[in-house]
Amino acid sequence: MKLLLVEDSERLQRSLSTGLQKHGFTVDQAFDGEEALSFIAINQYDAIILDLMLPKIDGLAVLTRLRSDGNDCHVLILSANDQTEDRVHGLDLGADDYLVKPFSFDELVSRLRALNRRRSGEKNPLVEVDGVGIDTVTRQVSFAHTVIALTPHEYRLLEFLAHRRGRVYSHDQLIDQLYDAGSYVTRNAVEAHISSLRKRLKQAGAPKLVETRRGFGYLIE
């Protein structure tokens, strides 16, 4: 799940970004509303964590611009504004969720996972593809009751494609979706991760799952 974290507090940015990455999220960071809109213009995100009290352009203006442009990316407002009218106003402008500061980090992660399931149409946190079970909460993959040990990169590839079955993604699209904007990742690295993922699945007796469409990219049927 690729996120844009829009928060002007450097301390909170650093803490949240580190924690979210440890939970398997890919995170880009923006410190004001203007920077957020620049990121949104050139990247696709599964969800945006949006503070309201931002420099340059406030969070509600960012949200309004987003929806007026037809962008349906999930938006979770993270704000100290805790009045009912504040929450209602944010949701009415098009936010998908609203979490009040101070908050539980575990609750934030849980809400983000729920938004991801909503986007993919999955209600169950356990995704199954040809007998391979993907637990999106524990980030554990299994086949025939045996756990398959995957690296974080391999897991992200598998979960991403499993949630988007039938859709082909090129090397560049996978890089855009699975790595943050500050990472330098080559096509060879993506191919290496896919190759090692297939090898681990094969060793466990599981199906290959990730197919190649030559000249186009990769998918899970």
Q: What's 214's domain CATH number?
A: 1.10.10.10
Same-domain status, 163 and 109: no
Structure tokens of 121? 């149409």
Last residue of a domain, one of 73, 94, 120: 120
**Measured between alpha carbons, how far is 69 from 63 in angstroms, rounded to an integer?**
10
Last residue of a domain, one of 120, 151, 176: 120
DSSP 83-144: SHHHHHHHHHTT-SEEEESS--HHHHHHHHHHHHHHHHT--SSEEEETTEEEETTTTEEEET
Same-domain status, 156 and 85: no
How high is the pLDDT of residue 82? 86
**Measured between alpha carbons, how far is 212 from 194 in angstroms, rounded to an integer?**
10
**Contact (Cβ atoms closer than 8 angstroms) between residue 62 and residue 77:** no
Same-domain status, 148 and 107: no
**Alpha helices by DSSP H, the chain:** 10-22, 33-42, 59-68, 84-92, 105-120, 152-163, 171-178, 187-203
Q: How many domains, the chain?
A: 2
Same-domain status, 172 and 88: no
Q: Each residue of 138-150: pLDDT tens digit?
A: 889 999 989 999 9
Same-domain status, 7 and 112: yes
How high is the pLDDT of residue 94? 92
Q: What's 36's domain CATH number?
A: 3.40.50.2300
Structure tokens of 85? 């009218």
Same-domain status, 130 and 165: yes
Domain range spanning residue 103? 2-120
Same-domain status, 31 and 139: no
Same-domain status, 80 and 143: no
How high is the pLDDT of residue 173? 86
- The strand pair at 97-100 and 140-143 is best described as unpaired
Same-domain status, 63 and 153: no
**Measured between alpha carbons, how far is 202 from 221 in angstroms, rounded to an integer?**
17
Q: Each residue of 13-70: pLDDT tens digit?
A: 999 999 999 888 889 999 999 999 999 998 889 999 999 999 999 999 999 999 999 9
Same-domain status, 88 and 146: no
Q: Each residue of 177-215: pLDDT tens digit?
A: 787 777 777 888 889 999 999 999 999 999 889 999 988
Same-domain status, 97 and 154: no
Last residue of a domain, one of 75, 101, 120: 120
DSSP conformational letter for 73: -
**Measured between alpha carbons, how far is 155 from 159 in angstroms, rounded to an integer?**
6
Same-domain status, 105 and 173: no
One-letter identity of residue 72:
D
Order across the sheet with 26-30: list the strands: 26-30, 2-6, 47-50, 74-79, 97-100
